[in-house]
Amino acid sequence: MARTPLLMGNWKMYKTVAEARAFAEELGQHSQALGTAVDYAICAPFTSLHVLRVMLPAQVKMGAQNVYPEKEGAFTGEISPLMLAEFGTQYVLAGHSERRTLFGESDQMVNHKVRAIVDAGMIPVLCVGENLSQKESGQTQAIVSGQVTQGIAGLSSDAVARAVIAYEPVWAIGSGKTATAEDAETVAREIRSVIAEHVDAAAANAVRILYGGSVKPDNIAGFIQQPNIDGALVGGASLKASSFVEMASAIGGALA
């Protein structure tokens, strides 16, 4: 079965509620340009999820950027998977490099989050990627394979098949530098073979793999045209509705 492309924005710690409302209003004016052949999502700060739930065009789903992997309890400041699922959240990021480096999240914690997201009926977006020194010392494949196998440990084949994996080289995030489409494709292909080996061929074929790292309207087509890349996880260029729509159009053009 063909994999549905996915364009996912990650707003990180940007946008007040008023700014999120303005984005949703503007995107709503262009909802016809989004079409139905591509899945869309915005991973917003928790404070903006409500306004997005009310105002985003129907084909754009809500995502969260983080979650704590317990149902409830004395975890001051945290949000549970149950709370996000009840709220209508469809996707949750896990293992973004900013969480790994700034907040010390280990592969084990990322795996707890991934399993908790699945248990709550949402789709995990497992983020993986090497940093610059790992790239320069030829460790990309080992780092990414390790993050993938540890991130999905304990998931059923069906859960892996429904999951999303975002390959984001850390050196490409917010830097204006991207991996070449060919290098990103090589890593995406490797991720599928790791999943085929550790889970099964059906999950490897079905899991959606995104590229992330300085994706913009003028470079997204090169990534989406790769056979093993199914979309993009976009930070900076997802903050403007006009740029989100331009990326959606570029995906449409690349797939036509």
228 annotated as a binding-site residue? no
CB closer to ligand G3H out of 204 and 235: 235
The separation between CA 59 and the C-alpha centre of its own chain, rounded to angstroms, equals 16
CB of 16 to ligand G3H, least distance (A): 19
Residue indicated by tokens 């480096």: 101
Of 144, 163, 203, 233, the one binding ligand G3H by CB under 6 A: 233
CB 153 within 8 A of CB 113: no
CB of 96 to ligand G3H, least distance (A): 6
Beta carbons within 8 Å of 177's beta carbon, 6+ residues apart: 171, 213, 214
Active-site residue flag, 198: no
174 annotated as a binding-site residue? yes
Q: State the Cα–Cα distance between residues 143 and 27, nearest whole angstrom.
A: 37
Active-site residue flag, 168: yes
CB 173 within 8 A of CB 130: no
Number of residues that bind ligand G3H (CB under 6 A): 14
Given the residues 96, 105, 130, 246, the one annotated as active site: 96
Does 231 participate in binding ligand G3H (rule CB under 6 A)?
no
Interacting span for ligand G3H (CB under 6 A) from 30-38, 53-61, 144-152, 234-242: 234-242
Does 124 participate in binding ligand G3H (rule CB under 6 A)?
no
Residue indicated by tokens 């399993």: 115
Q: State the Cα–Cα distance between residues 146 and 149, nearest whole angstrom.
A: 5
Given the residues 130, 168, 185, 246, the one annotated as active site: 168
Integer CA distances (angstroms), 72 to 17, 28, 84, 148, in order: 26, 35, 12, 27
Of 6, 128, 144, 173, the one binding ligand G3H by CB under 6 A: 173
Indicate the residue whose CB is closest to ligand G3H: 235
Of 215, 224, 241, 250, the one binding ligand G3H by CB under 6 A: 215
**Interface positions, 64-103, toward ligand G3H (CB under 6 A):** 96
DSSP code at position 3: P
CB of 195 to ligand G3H, least distance (A): 21
Does 214 participate in binding ligand G3H (rule CB under 6 A)?
yes
Beta carbons within 8 Å of 199's beta carbon, 6+ residues apart: 152, 155, 157, 160
CB closer to ligand G3H out of 114 and 234: 234
Q: What is the DSSP string of 134-164?
A: HHHTT-HHHHHHHHHHHHSTT--HHHHHH-E
Give the residue numbers marked as catalytic: 96, 168
Residues that bind ligand G3H (CB under 6 A): 10, 96, 168, 173-174, 212-215, 233-237
